[in-house]
Structure formats: C-alpha cells, structure tokens
C-alpha cells in the first residue's frame, strides 16, 4: 500500500498548493480556481476522464462529458454508439455544447477534434405571403396605368373550352392589387383595351372555325 | 499509457482509498509499479454465498487506451465458480468485454465481480465442468465452492470433513494443494479417478 499513498499524494499536494496560492493573492477572483478541487464541483466532472469537463458537451440523456473524451469514445466503437453512462443511443449530432461565461478565450472549434456547433433556429415570421406580394407596391407607387400588376390564372380543362376560359378570363374578377376603381378614367381605358382584345380573340376563333 | 488514463487512475485510486463506504464493501486496490499498468485488486466474498468471508485477489492489467477499452481482470486466487476458469482465473463478464463503458471505474468493475460471485450464471459458463456441476448437482457445487474458498481464500467456517479428508489424502501423496483440489473437484470427489487423472 506504500505506493498507493504515493499515488494519492500527488493530487493532494497540488490541492494544497492551489489553496495556498489563492490565499496569498487574497483576491476574490482566485476563489473559483481553488474551489475546482473541492467536492462541490464534482457534479461538473466529465464522466470519462473524471476531471472538470473541458469543452463540455451534454448528451440528450443529460450526461456531461469533455468533447475530446466523448469524441474518442465514439471513435473507439463506431458500430455501437451508446452513452458511456446510461447506454442510451448517442451520436455526434445529438450532443449540445455548453458555453459557460468567461470559460473559453479561444474558439474550441479550432482544436481537434472540433466540438459540434450549437443549433440555432430562426423564429417564424408572420405577415401575409411574402412571395406573392410583388406587384402591389409597384402599382401603388407607379401610377402609370397599373403597370406593375401581375396576375396569374391557372386552369385545367379540355381544348376549346380552356381557350375560352383563359382568353376571356371567365369567372375571374379583377383581382389585381391596387386596381383602379370603377368610374375613373384609367378604369375606362382598361375596359376599352380589354374589349378590343376580346373582339380580336373572338374574330381569331371565328377565323379558326371557318378556315 | 496515455495522459488521460494515468490521471484517471490516480483519481480512481484516491476514491477507493479515501472513501470509507467503499472499504466497507470489502474492495481494495493496490499497485506494484508507478506506471499504474499492473494493479492488484482484492474483494471479499459476498454474504449468503459459498464464498462468504473469503479474500480473493485479482490481477488487473490496464490497457494503453483505458478508459476507452476495458481493463483485463482475472482471479489470482483459485476459485470454483461457473463463470470463472478454475484453471486460469479468467472471468466471463460482459462489462469486461463488449458491454464495457468508459464511465465504469475499477471500483464498479470490482463491485460487479463481487456480485458475480453472489449470482453465478451457469447458462453462460467460462468453466464448463463447474457449470455442469452447478446445474446437475447444486449441493455438491456449493460444498465444493465453499471448500475452495476456505482452502484458497481463507474463508472462515467449518470445513466439510468428508471432502477435506479426501483432499488431505491426495496431499499426503505429495500433490500440491491447488492441483489436488482441482483434480478432485473435476472428478466429482472420486479419489481414485482424481489420482488417475493426476498421475497419468
């Protein structure tokens, strides 16, 4: 047992040195450093190296590890990736890094092996359909005959009827955003152009039928 | 040995030696060199088992990549148990093989070995002869295991006079204590068969 005592002597002597050092400095900032060797920090010890966790990561089952330790464990048995404590399924993607305040001065990802990054999700955005509002602003600001108004109409049907429907815009009202109100001069002009095109279409179809 | 292994072993040693609770369970840890690669363990035979009160010594060899690979643990003290080889002391225990986890320590390993003594598993044997006896003649198994613990591991209690007489009979012929025990146990305590086995 003589050699056992040697083995235990080393950590003990380092503890006393650390406490003595903090006593001489007499500063409150050295308090946490001395406290690291006390038992109350044991809940923040890595489950693999039994030291205070560095580059800490936590598994989904709630067990704390140093990232280098856990990485080596996962590397050791690629076919059986289980938590070293509770043997639940574990993977590189499903561990969360823990960032304490004032702990890391350097980016831990620069070290090998890199610690997996935290996952950020953007909060959801509300307020209409952002993809479908183009045209509305242009019509309001342009003032040049509703130039920006773009309208799509989709239809499924059999040949000549589809043509009527899409050409004549049956059943589809004026759904453009910012369309000119009935009675204005712009509205009258649009109605006139619309009628002209309808007559052109009718003539075209009559020609098609006769030819 | 890697740095992480050495530091961790130091911590484990400190835990086993300083913790009074661990000393109560009858677990001890000892080392023979400073590199901490070869260790000696010691466990007490669990109560309500044929091994009760015995002191069993174990050899522990720490691999270089500890704790990512399990330590190699085997019995130095001879023991009659279906999951432990009566010849070599090799232990059949899942956590020392594929069920090893890095969070297990030497303390938990020795505790597991101790509970293996209390709960033998003859359906998954290491020593086929012992396992067969354990399944077919449980009474003889218990007596044999107790005598082994008494002779090899200093377990207290009255020795089975019938079996011990046969043992002394063989030892008087100049056979070593352990080989006499082994020969008799493997031959269902038949002295003539054991003698034949030893001298053929």
Question: Residue B152: pLDDT above 90?
Answer: yes
Would you call the peptide bond into A113 cis, given omega within 30 degrees of 0 as the criterion? Answer: yes
Cβ distance A3 to B32 less than 8 Å, yes or no, reads: yes
Asked whether residue B113 falls in the same domain as residue B23, the answer is yes
SS3 B114: helix
For chain B, the domain total comes to 2
* Domain harbouring A78, CATH code: 3.30.40.10
DSSP B32: S
Query: Residue A85 is nearest to which of B10, B17, B101, comparing CB atoms?
Result: B101
* A13 Cβ contact partners less than 8 Å away, ≥ 6 residues apart: none
Which two structure tokens, joined as six digits, stand for B1?
């040995």
Last residue of a domain, one of B62, B96, B118: B118
- Give residue A111's pLDDT: 60
CA distance B37 to B64: 8
Q: Are residues B44 and B93 in the same domain?
A: yes
Statement to judge: residues B103 and B158 lie in one domain: no
Per-residue pLDDT, averaged over B124-151, amounts to: 92
Contact check, Cβ <8 Å, B102/A73: yes
Q: Which of A137-146, B77-86, B131-140, B191-200 has the lowest mean pLDDT?
A: A137-146
Counts for chain B of helices (H) and strands (E), in that order: 8, 4
Distances (CA, A) of A19 to A5, A102, B26: 21, 21, 34
Least confident among A127-141, A147-161, B2-16, B52-66: A127-141
The domain that holds B51 is classified in CATH as: 3.10.110.10
- Where is the domain boundary, B84, B118, B152? B118
| Rounded CA separation B123/B131 (Å) | 7
How far is Cα A64 from Cα A62, in angstroms, rounded to an integer?
7
Rounded Cα gap, residues B157 and A66, in angstroms: 49
B13 and B108 share one domain: yes
Q: Which residues in chain A have their CB less than 8 angstroms from residue B10's CB? A: 7-8, 10-11
B16 and B67, same domain (yes or no): yes
Report how many domains make up chain A: 2
Query: B7 CA to chain A: closest CA distance, Å?
Result: 8
**Is B8 part of any domain?**
yes
- Give domain status of residue B123, yes or no: no
Pairing of strands B72-75, B55-61: antiparallel
pLDDT digits (tens, 9 = 90+) for B23-32: 788 888 888 7
Kindly state whether residues B104 and B11 are assigned to the same domain.
Answer: yes
* Cβ neighbours of A171 (radius 10 Å): 8
Question: Which 8-state DSSP code applies to residue A115?
Answer: P
- Which residues contact residue A35 at a Cβ distance below 8 angstroms, ignoring those fewer than 6 apart? A41
Mean pLDDT of chain A: 67
Nearest to B103 among A12, A47, A80 (CB): A47
Range of the domain at A166: 152-174+181-211
Q: Flag whether residue A2 sits within 8 Å of chain B, measured between CB atoms.
A: no
**Is the distance from CB of A146 to CB of A180 less than 8 angstroms?**
yes
Between chains, do B29 and A76 touch, taking CB under 8 Å as contact?
Answer: no
Check if B92 is active-site. yes
- This complex has an ipTM of 0.80
Residue ending a domain, choose from B85, B118, B151 = B118
- What is the β-pairing status of strands B55-61 and A56-59? unpaired
Q: Residue B13: which residues within 8 A CB-CB, separation 6 or more? A: A4, A7, A8, B29, B31, B36
**What is the Cα A152 distance to its own chain's centre?**
32
Q: What is the pLDDT of residues A129-183, one digit of tens each?
A: 554 544 444 444 444 444 445 566 555 555 555 555 555 555 455 556 667 777 7
Q: Do A84 and B36 touch (CB under 8 A)?
A: no
Which pLDDT tens digit goes with each residue over B80-124?
999 999 999 999 999 999 899 999 999 999 999 999 999 999 999
Question: What is the C-alpha to C-alpha distance for residues B126 and B81, in angstroms, rounded to an integer?
Answer: 9
User: What's the domain range around B27?
Assistant: 3-118
Q: What is the phi/psi pair of residue B90, to 5°?
A: -65, 135
Q: What is the pLDDT of residues A21-66, one digit of tens each?
A: 333 333 343 334 444 444 556 778 899 988 888 888 899 999 999 8
């Amino acid at each position: 047992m003589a050699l056992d005592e040697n083995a235990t002597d080393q950590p003990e002597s380092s503890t006393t040195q650390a406490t003595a050092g903090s006593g001489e400095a007499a500063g409150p900032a050295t308090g946490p450093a001395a406290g690291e060797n006390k038992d109350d920090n044991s809940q923040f010890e890595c489950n693999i190296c039994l030291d205070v966790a560095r580059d800490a990561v936590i598994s989904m089952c709630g067990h704390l590890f140093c990232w280098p330790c856990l990485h080596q464990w996962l590397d050791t048995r690629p076919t059986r990736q289980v938590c070293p404590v509770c043997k639940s399924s574990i993977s590189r993607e499903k561990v969360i890094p823990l960032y304490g305040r004032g702990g890391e001065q350097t980016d831990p990802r620069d070290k090998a092996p890199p610690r997996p990054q935290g996952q950020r999700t953007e909060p959801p955005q509300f307020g209409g359909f952002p993809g479908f509002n183009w045209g509305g602003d242009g019509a309001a600001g342009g003032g040049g005959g509703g130039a920006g108004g773009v309208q799509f109409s989709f239809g499924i049907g059999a040949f000549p009827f589809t043509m009527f429907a899409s050409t004549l815009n049956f059943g589809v009202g004026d759904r453009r955003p910012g369309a000119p109100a009935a009675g204005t001069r712009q509205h009258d002009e649009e109605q006139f152009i619309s009628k002209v095109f309808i007559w052109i279409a009718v003539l075209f179809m009559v020609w098609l039928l006769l030819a | 040995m890697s740095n992480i292994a050495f530091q961790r072993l130091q911590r484990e040693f400190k835990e086993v030696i300083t913790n009074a609770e661990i000393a109560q369970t009858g677990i001890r840890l000892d080392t023979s060199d400073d590199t901490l690669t070869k260790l000696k363990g010691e466990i007490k035979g669990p109560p309500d088992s044929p091994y009760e009160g015995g002191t069993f010594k174990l050899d522990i060899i720490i691999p270089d990549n500890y704790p990512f690979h399990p330590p190699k643990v085997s019995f130095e003290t001879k023991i009659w148990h279906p999951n432990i080889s009566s010849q070599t002391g090799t232990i059949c225990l899942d956590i020392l093989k594929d069920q090893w986890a890095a969070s297990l320590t030497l303390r938990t390993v020795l505790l597991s070995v101790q509970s293996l003594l209390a709960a033998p598993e003859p359906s998954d044997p290491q020593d086929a002869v012992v396992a067969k006896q354990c399944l077919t003649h449980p009474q003889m198994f218990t007596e044999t295991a107790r005598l082994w613990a008494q002779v090899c591991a200093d377990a207290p209690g009255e020795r089975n006079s019938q079996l011990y007489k046969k043992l002394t009979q063989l030892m008087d012929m100049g056979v070593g204590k352990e080989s006499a025990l082994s020969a008799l146990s493997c031959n269902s305590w038949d002295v003539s068969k054991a003698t034949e086995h030893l001298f053929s």
